[in-house]
Amino acid sequence: MIRLAPILIALLYGVILWRLSAWRTARELDAKSTELRDPALAEVTGRLARALGVARIPVRIYEVAPVNGLAAPDGRIFLTRGFHDRFREGKVSAEELASVIAHELGHVALGHSRRRMIDFTGQNAVRVMLVTILGRVLPGIGVWLANLLTSLVAARLSRRDEYEADEWASALLVKAGIGTGPQKSLFAKLGRLTGGGGSAPAWLLSHPATADRIAAIEANEAKWGLGR
């Protein structure tokens, strides 16, 4: 039992972190978001809704400056104020913004948002366990190695989710008559919009490289017989 104590403590620590993170996320989103009410986007969101067979797709604006979209663990879809501002400035089209909404809907439909919170629990439990074990076996570098290993696993899982959500979004956009063009054109300009373009290696990034995402979309188009 004593030997199992570090593992049990790690699991308990992970659960507590998960609960705390979920509570903080929900509180933050509730306090800093309002429903999106933009007539200029009503047509494209309506097309997505009809393709899904629902009356409407509720989207909320998260009042932060970075350009991003997100799907909360409870299934709600958010666009940041920064992303909406780029649309109002003419830097992003309505169809491109619809591709973001479709992508986040994909995360919800595929269970990624909720699963990521569960993964977060396991990852932190494993992190604590590895830190405990490797910290004793490899003093000095054990903690660093434990953090690196868990980060690598988390990044790999996240990249897989992004590809799956991209594919789901492509299918929805095609069904809605919008097509995958806006999805690809947004990816091509996303680095400029977000100020990204850092030099972190691809295997450490939580999102796949832009060129790889576009290539995956085009591979799906070929598989589905589009553009022939």
* Residue in the structure block whose two tokens are 């868990």: 150
Question: Which among 170, 184, 176, 211 has a CA at the least distance from the CA of 96?
Answer: 184
User: Which residue spans within the chain are E strands per DSSP?
Assistant: 33-35, 59-62, 69-71, 77-80
Angle between helices 112-137 and 94-109 (to 10 degrees): 70
User: How far is it, in rounded angstroms, from Cα 141 to Cα 118?
Assistant: 28
By CB atoms closer than 10 A (0-12, 13-18, 19+), residue 27 is exposed
By CB atoms closer than 10 A (0-12, 13-18, 19+), residue 24 is exposed
Q: Which two tokens stand for residue 225?
A: 């017989």
Active site residue 104: yes
Q: Buried (b) or exposed (e) across 187-200, using 16+ Cβ within 10 A?
A: beebeebeeeeeee
> What DSSP state is assigned to residue 79?
E
Answer yes or no: are the C-beta atoms of 202 and 74 closer than 8 Å.
no
User: How far is it, in rounded angstroms, from Cα 117 to Cα 82?
Assistant: 25
Catalytic residue among 28, 89, 96, 104: 104
**Positions marked active-site:** 104
